[in-house]
Amino acid sequence: MSTDDQGLSAKRAELAALIERFTDGDGIHETPIEGLRFARIGAPSEPMRGVQEPSLCLIVQGAKQAMLGNEIYEYDASRYLVASVDLPVTGRVTVASPEMPYLCFVLRLSPGDIASLVTQAETASAPLPPPSRGLSVSQCDPELLDAALRLTRLLGAPQDIALLAPLVIREILYRLLRSGQGGMLRHISIADSQGHRVAKAIGWLRRNFHQPLRIEHIAREVHMSPSALHHHFKAITAMSPLQYQKQLRLQEARRLMLSEVLDAATASHRVGYESPSQFSREYSRMFGAPPLRDVERLRSSAAG
């Protein structure tokens, strides 16, 4: 093992130890540093659907798989994942055990913070590439891992967080902008770029997913033609606006049935479906079972 590899391994080991120190059992753990949380899971998981918010996901132990549409993204301690927009994904922890749990450093990415940095970085004058997929995996480099470690160390010195954490987060964003992820992040943060307009369209869909989808209305809202919106939306999200809306609706209906104990008809109406039979068909296609059977299975798993 080279000296560089030994240094990376030592940093990962220290970061893993810190994450274990600041997490109490499996789950997602928020921290006193705004935007920073940790994930800890002690065994491989079943596929879980959710919306991946703009974030850096840096695994320090274990491995995970994310599926966006029909695309599969594998990442582990040697490769990190970045999401630049809200994306409906299916995630599954593939490598984890009680002795060596899956541990992940997750930092929420603020487009506003990225935009302010872009104007000062050398990348500001670089040509903007065409919009690309809003989910990407890259090889982890020592500088990024070192910055993540320094940010995590601040949890042991709470008095330093207010002053130093924003500086380290700014460094992390700079590292990402200088990486292969830079073009993707610049697109989302630069006002009036096609990527920024698609991000605004995604925001509208997330707030109004229960309403009928009128692509012409959304296109006017974000100052794009309907054809351009459809093209660039699919380039970034791997799905059409209608497919994106459907995923949001079905995930929310599932949540309502589980957490608020709503029946399928009420949940489907709440998320915008007018036809219960259409809801049941699309739900079965997405989750592999009709609503009632799927929710009973989930409740039984949770109880067991």
Contact, 128 vs 197, CB < 8 A? no
> Whole-model pTM?
0.90
**Comparison of pLDDT for 120 and 235, the residue scoring more:** 235
**140-168 mean pLDDT:** 97
Is the pLDDT assigned to residue 127 strictly greater than 80? Answer: no
DSSP 9-34: HHHHHHHHHHHHHT--SSEEEE-SST
In the predicted model, what is the mean pLDDT of the chain? 92
pLDDT at 122: 57
With a pLDDT cut of 70, the percent of the chain lying above it is 95
- List the chain domain ranges: 3-119+132-188, 192-304
Phi, psi of 212 (to 5 degrees): -60, 140
pLDDT at 231: 95
CA atoms within 13 A on the CB side of 181: 30
pLDDT at 191: 78
Q: What is the 3 state secondary structure string of 166-195?
A: HHHHHHHHHHHHCCCCHHHHHHHHCCCCHH
Is the pLDDT assigned to residue 101 strictly greater than 90? Answer: yes
CATH architecture for the domain at 192-304 = Orthogonal Bundle (1.10)
Q: Please list the residues that pair with 68 across neighbouring strands.
A: 71
pLDDT tens digit string along 34-93?
Answer: 999 999 999 999 899 999 999 999 999 999 999 998 899 999 999 999 999 999 999 999
Q: State the fold for domain 3-119+132-188.
A: Jelly Rolls (2.60.120)
pLDDT at 45: 94
**Comparison of pLDDT for 118 and 27, the residue scoring more:** 27
